[in-house]
Structure 1
Amino acid sequence: MEWLKANNELIPLSWFEQMRSNTPVSFNEEYNNWDAFRYEDIKAMFTNHEVFSSQLNDTVREPIDASILFLDPPKHRQLRMLVSRAFTPQVIEALGPKITAISHELCDQIEQRGSMDVVHDFASPLPMIVIAEMLGIPAADRLQFREWSIALVGNDYEAFVACQQEMSEYFTAIANDRRTAPQQDLISSLVHTHVDGEQLTDLEIIGFCVLLLVAGNETTTNLISSSMLCFDSERDARDQLMADPTLFPQAIEEVLRYCSPVQVTSRKVKQATELRGHSLLPGQQINIWIGSANHDPDVFESPNTFNIHRSPNPHLAFGHGIHFCLGAQLARLEARIALRILFERFPNFRRDQRMTLERADSTMIFGLKSLPFFIA
């Protein structure tokens, strides 16, 4: 990947390799937390919620703390059952025509301009429109959604807190409206659904909407833009996809591995445990470097080579175990449809290499601030 060789800070593969080899489990004294880098360890931590808890805070500080992302069983199971009804395979596949129509509308606008910033003109608005329509959010509020989404994954903690306060007020008003005047949207479903005789609380509804905004928007945005970046750089892969679009699903899996949209997540140690000779104590946090795990040579042959034919490809881009991403099927569907349409509409696309690639201001997420392309 020429773009990665030119700027290894975009995805720090050399640092991942160094840490996996020398200190696969390391302690940061300043923050009293740990970092884990090897695939085997990270996959095990995803499944061992008795020792490695997703509930990072003892009390709910922000709405997202009440989402399934930060809950352990049994509450996690109950809440996931409630919200998973909106993400059944049948529901997701039924979105295909809508995703196709939105993709073509965005391409029409790009065609009129004569150029494309993949991030701003396509990869960002597509999932935003899909999620907004699923939730029942007015089109006029989509730009505000994008600002909230960026703040939720960014490194500015004050913006992170402020946007959740704003979102709490926003979604509370909508939830209250849907209780008295339900519509055919996800928020109406959330406020009226029952499992084991229980409904979601207001905080849980808000938390899920916040989570959906991040998981449903940022992941897909960065998957699509990273795909275009990789396919532009790897001409053989691009030519094969042009000749045989049935290769897109497995090519997308390789993008998920190579440019994992979520680079790092965290767990809190619940019980004293040993990991590679280190003693981890209750209350300590451990950062799980998914981006490193997905380049571990113990699991992936030639891990730093982009190979759309890689099989098997057991990447951890969507997590593993009970916290496997609820929206994974939607992200894959959006990427598959969107990329095929981009290839069909703009077969001569190429990146404007005069523009320097800059990573978005987020440690957790890998994404680009901008990705200009020529389309003819």
Structure 2
Amino acid sequence: MTSTQLTGAESPLDVLPERWRALRDAGPVTYDEERRQWHVVDHQGVSAVLSDPATYSSDMTPIAPTQEDFEAFRQGNFVGMDPPEHRKLRTLVSQAFTPRVVHGLAPRIEAVCARLLDGVADRDRFDLVDTLAYPLPIIVIAELLGVPAEDHRLFQEWAATLFGGDQLGDSLDMADLERALEAIAPTVREMNGYVLDHIRHRRAHPGDDLTSRLLTAEVDGTRLRDEEIVGFVALLLVAGHITTTALLGNAMVTFDRHPGTLTALREDPGRVPDAVEEVLRWLPPFPELGRRTTRPVVLGGHDIPADTLLMVHLGAANRDPSRFTSPDVFDAARDPNPHLTFGHGIHFCFGAPLARLEARIALQMMMERFPSLAVPSYDDVTYQNPAVIVGVRHLPVAVTRP
């Protein structure tokens, strides 16, 4: 089924928990004969796989289909790299997302939120995704990269193509992946060209932005090649906003489906960060990650050969009863909350502090502005294809003002 068909009672909020429970019931490590891949679903096993990049590689090129346009993107995509190459690019980007740097963005995030919500000041109904959840993070990341924020509609089109999954089923195999690569290749080509033009412009006209710093940065005495920077900037531009977009939509839907949550958060705004963490545990935007075995291994009592695809299920691990009390209960005050939504180990999401800050500011500002905030009809809510990303595509909300 495609994302545009995921509405109402068919939503991932109902379907995914049942799928994660079925995966856990089958055992911590199981083999999928149909798709020829292994599933790892328990919290301990998922953490172990993500902590061992030497054995469980993020580089899928030996077993995945290739496509020319993706090769250019792949050169700077450190999400799909292993050490030592991964360290070089990760070191560069981590400097731009330190807690201190991210905290300094708070006033700008507040200003962008206020402006976006001012745009619907005369309306008692609006689409939360179009109004706030999409434009907020893309404006922030575009400014960090020195990319014109006014091009955000173009970036939205790219993200919709890359993460829409409209031609895919609700569970991927290699054949699905090959079809997907061919379908989105023109978009990747357009994105690569746009980013290359931006890099060339910044070479001629340096600014105080991340792209300009990447052009002069040195790691181990060498500078990045343009080809590496293209994939690097493109990754940040697209991946740098999609998680926050999904998180904000998921938070609104989850709060709405758990009556009393918004009231409690209004009474004690200091609980918003814990509530955001629980939304991340409850509905991880990317609920599974792929890894490739680099050598024969024994995992969960099973012999797994080299160059085998493992799918580690963050969504299932986030509801592991051996790690979480009442895992199938949404608890906005849950503490501790050792969810794996942002990953684990060297590939832990570098943008996690920014996503958390954007979500906290946006949610607090909405609660301050709107005494009531609700989803009037789930028949009008549409979802992304959960095989690609868990999130809403359109989320009409009804509000009242003081």
**What is the TM-score when the length of structure 2 is the normalising length?**
0.88
Counterpart pick for 1:247 among 271, 287, 297: 271
Q: Which runs of 5+ in 1 are unaligned?
A: none
**What is aligned with 2:173?**
none
Deviation at 1:47, TM superposition (A): 0.3
Counterpart pick for 1:220 among 219, 238, 244: 244
**What is aligned with 2:103?**
93
CA–CA distance in structure 1, aligned partners of residues 381 and 29 of structure 2 = 31
Runs (4 or more) in structure 1 with deviation over 4 Å come to none
Does the alignment pair 1:20 with 2:30?
A: no
Q: What secondary structure does 2:237 align onto?
A: helix
Aligned residues, how many? 374
Deviation at 1:314, TM superposition (A): 0.2
**What is aligned with 2:368?**
344
144-153 or 244-253, larger mean C-alpha shift: 144-153
From the superposition, tell whether residues 4 and 251 of structure 1 become closer, same or farther in structure 2 (CA, over 3 Å).
Answer: farther
Counterpart pick for 2:128 among 118, 137, 159: 118
Contact 1:26–1:36, Cα closer than 8 Å, also in 2: yes
Could you list the per-position Cα deviations for residues 53-75 of structure 1 after superposition, in whole angstroms to 9, with x for gaps in the alignment? 01111487350463110111111
Contact 1:192–1:199, Cα closer than 8 Å, also in 2: yes
Counterpart pick for 1:177 among 201, 225, 234: 201
Counterpart pick for 1:42 among 43, 46, 51: 46
Could you list the per-position Cα deviations for residues 195-235 of structure 1 after superposition, in whole angstroms to 9, with x for gaps in the alignment? 22111222221222222133321100011111111222222
From the superposition, tell whether residues 26 and 356 of structure 1 become closer, same or farther in structure 2 (CA, over 3 Å).
Answer: farther
Could you list the per-position Cα deviations for residues 264-297 of structure 1 after superposition, in whole angstroms to 9, with x for gaps in the alignment? 1111110101122222111111111111111111
Does the alignment pair 1:196 with 2:220?
A: yes
Q: Percent of counterpart pairs with the same letter?
A: 39
Counterpart pick for 1:281 among 305, 313, 316: 305
**What is aligned with 1:359?**
383
Deviation at 1:45, TM superposition (A): 0.5
Deviation at 1:368, TM superposition (A): 1.1
**What is the TM-score when the length of structure 1 is the normalising length?**
0.94
Deviation at 1:359, TM superposition (A): 2.1
Q: What secondary structure does 1:261 align onto?
A: coil
Does the alignment pair 1:128 with 2:152?
A: no
Could you list the per-position Cα deviations for residues 17-73 of structure 1 after superposition, in whole angstroms to 9, with x for gaps in the alignment? 121112432323344322222111111110011110011114873504631101111
Does the alignment pair 1:307 with 2:331?
A: yes
CA–CA distance in structure 2, aligned partners of residues 154 and 201 of structure 1 = 31
One-letter code of the match for 1:316?
L
CA RMSD of aligned residues (A): 2.0
Deviation at 1:8, TM superposition (A): 5.9
Q: What secondary structure does 2:327 align onto?
A: coil
One-letter code of the match for 2:103?
E
From the superposition, tell whether residues 96 and 164 of structure 1 become closer, same or farther in structure 2 (CA, over 3 Å).
Answer: same
**What is aligned with 1:268?**
292
CA–CA distance in structure 2, aligned partners of residues 39 and 85 of structure 1 = 30
From the superposition, tell whether residues 151 and 217 of structure 1 become closer, same or farther in structure 2 (CA, over 3 Å).
Answer: same
Q: What secondary structure does 2:253 align onto?
A: helix
Q: How does 1:293-304 map to 2 (within 5 A)?
A: 293-304=317-328
Counterpart pick for 1:103 among 113, 118, 124: 113
Q: What secondary structure does 2:372 align onto?
A: coil
CA–CA distance in structure 2, aligned partners of residues 95 and 120 of structure 1 = 22
From the superposition, tell whether residues 200 and 336 of structure 1 become closer, same or farther in structure 2 (CA, over 3 Å).
Answer: same
Contact 1:64–1:210, Cα closer than 8 Å, also in 2: no
CA–CA distance in structure 1, aligned partners of residues 163 and 98 of structure 2 = 26
CA–CA distance in structure 1, aligned partners of residues 250 and 399 of structure 2 = 17
